[in-house]
Chains A and B, each alone.
Chain A
């Protein structure tokens, strides 16, 4: 068994790290989407309604910097929280492969949801946003997310691929 309290604390720190890198250090797209990573992992630990609430709150925080598509992040993250929570009933797995796939798909889904919900002012070319940038960003976020979990030791016991 991994230490649940420590694991959840790390998950809660991921969004903080996200805002620190994006807003505090102004890294923009150079920083991974740790908000999605944190939300996806937290969503599997809590009930659906709570996951939706967490997603809403985190999305709203990101929307605080959005002049063009206010609410788009909140809706995307709420839906992601719900889907992440429901995924427990569809997929049971704690392997590294599952973790990477889950984070990759979830982060891409978040970008896709935001692209759909955001208005025309923000929405760019679909091919570029969903098939080029989306997967690259998702891969980057998944990689960094897994690395953080491995480095902090919260996933050490479950390294069975």
Chain B
């Protein structure tokens, strides 16, 4: 039957094309999936087929850390011990005063140290894998920090691993402020031509607030991140919208590519079980990455009043002359 064979080949060929189109459509579907579903699929692969590769890097990373400069670590340990012992009396005193005032324990965050694992595959930019997970108290949206400052935030948590996005991720946003609290704004990433050129933009700064080059910018405590984590330092003016707002380029405190070890700020240590460290634990971070700011709640002392008298000025007191630092420059156009 001569006509049978061509039909069979044709049918097989058609089947191959249908199968190919099916996989192409499936790929398209993956792209269109909502982000949580995508993360679930990715999580299944990372937890099964790809787990051995992740384990290899984890082991290598740990071996590298262990083989690192032990002398330097010892030095740091000694310094930390010395600092802790010096603060012990202050802690005791603080505890006594709290007891006297019947104040409850301050809720503070816990820290989980983690090794950074990088996939290094196409499209894996802005993503880091950490070797701590739910077992270590890590939760989604826990901040990821390093000794230099803010690295990113946890996106997905497994039992012993987690996925974080660093600040170069386009979805990364953090509410930030200058150390003196003079300017607040949102920090967002801006891509450069090369990944090394990625930098941060402090956006939404009031138009009449000018920031000095080199001013430290820290998290403001609004939103996911507790207050006081160093984000970067002001580099230059990026953009202005006349009379409304300014944007400033920041030199990031952390270059994600150089990070090998991080700390995840968890809420495990919070005795009250607060979902976020929030403002209660704020002061814990001042001084970790930058000098502590002046106490904004304390009365401001005015010393340059004629006659040399010191005037105690409460913030926002209308009876006193305005603070020269907050007066808009008259040379600049009004809104």
A interface list, Cβ under 8 A from B: 19-20, 22-29, 31, 33, 47-53, 55-56, 59-75, 78-79, 81-82, 111, 114, 117-118, 121-122, 124-125, 128
Subset of 23 A-B contacts with CB under 8 Å:
A23-B117, A26-B57, A26-B120, A48-B16, A49-B20, A49-B23, A52-B23, A53-B23, A62-B121, A63-B123, A64-B43, A65-B42, A65-B121, A66-B123, A67-B169, A70-B33, A71-B31, A71-B32, A78-B20, A79-B24, A82-B24, A114-B122, A122-B125
* From A24, A81, A114, contact of B56 by CB (8 A): A24
Given known pairs A53-B23, A65-B42, A75-B31, the reply for A124 and B16 (CB within 8 Å) is no
- Render B141-171 as a binary contact track against A, CB cut-off 8 A, 1 for contact: 0000000000000010000000101000110
Chain B interface residues toward A at CB < 8 A: 15-20, 22-24, 26-33, 38, 41-43, 45-46, 49-50, 52-54, 56-57, 60-61, 117-127, 129, 155, 163, 165, 169-170, 191, 193
A47 shortest CB reach to chain B, Å: 5
Q: In the complex, are the beta carbons of A65 and B193 less than 8 A apart?
A: no
Chain B residue nearest to A33 in the complex (CB): B122
A28 and B118 contacting across the interface, CB-CB below 8 Å: yes
The interface residues of chain B, by DSSP majority, are classed as helix
Query: What's the least CB distance linking B162 to chain A, in Å?
Result: 13
Q: Is the CB of B27 within 8 A of A28?
A: no
- Contact in complex: B20, A52 (CB < 8 Å): yes
CB-CB nearest in chain A for B195: A124
Nearest chain A CB to B12 CB, angstrom units: 8
* Contact (Cβ within 8 A) B19 A52: yes
Which chain B residue shows the least CB distance to A55? B23
Instruction: Say yes or no: B23 contacts A20, CB within 8 Å.
Output: no
Residues of B within 8 A of A53 (CB): 19, 23
Could you tell me if A49 and B16 are in contact, using CB atoms closer than 8 angstroms? yes
Contact A22 B120 (CB under 8 A): yes
Cα A20 to Cα B26 in complex, Å, equals 26
Query: How far apart are B16's CB and chain A's nearest CB, in angstroms?
Result: 4
Q: How far, in Å, is A48 (CB) from chain B's closest CB?
A: 4
Alpha-carbon distance A81/B26, docked complex (angstroms): 14
| Contact, CB under 8 Å: B57 / A25 | yes
Report B-chain residues with C-beta under 8 Å of the C-beta of A81: 23
Instruction: Choose among B16, B46, B60, B122 the residue with the greatest number of A CB atoms under 10 Å from its CB.
Output: B122
Q: Cα distance A53–B61 when bound, in Å?
A: 34
Q: Is there an interface contact between A23 and B193, defined as CB atoms closer than 8 Å? A: no
C-alpha gap A63/B124 in the complex (Å): 8
Question: What is the chain A residue whose CB lies nearest that of B59?
Answer: A24
B50 touches A23 (CB 8 A): yes
Report the separation of the CA atoms of residues A55 and B19 in the bound assembly, to the nearest whole angstrom: 12
Known: A20-B53, A65-B119, A82-B20. A25 touches B45 (CB 8 A): no
Query: Which residues of A lie under 8 Å from residue B56 when comparing CB positions?
Result: 20, 23-25
Q: Smallest CB-CB separation from B155: which chain A residue? A: A67
Q: Which residues of A contact B45 (CB under 8 A)?
A: 60-61, 64
The chain B residue with its CB closest to the CB of A53 is: B23
A70 & B31 in contact (Cβ 8 Å cutoff): yes
Is B30 touching A63 in the complex (CB atoms < 8 A)?
A: yes
Q: Report whether A62 and B122 are in contact in the complex, using a CB–CB cutoff of 8 Å.
A: yes
Closest residue of A by beta carbon distance from B64: A26
In the complex, which residues of chain B have a beta carbon less than 8 angstroms from the beta carbon of A59?
27
Chain B residue nearest in CB terms to A67: B127
Give the CA-CA distance A23 to B32 in the complex, in Å: 26
Query: Cβ of B60 and Cβ of A26 under 8 Å apart?
Result: yes
Please give me the residue from chain A that is nearest to B156 by CB atom: A67
Partner of A78, one of B17, B24, B49: B24
Across the interface, which residues of B come within 8 angstroms of A19, CB to CB? Answer: 50, 53, 121
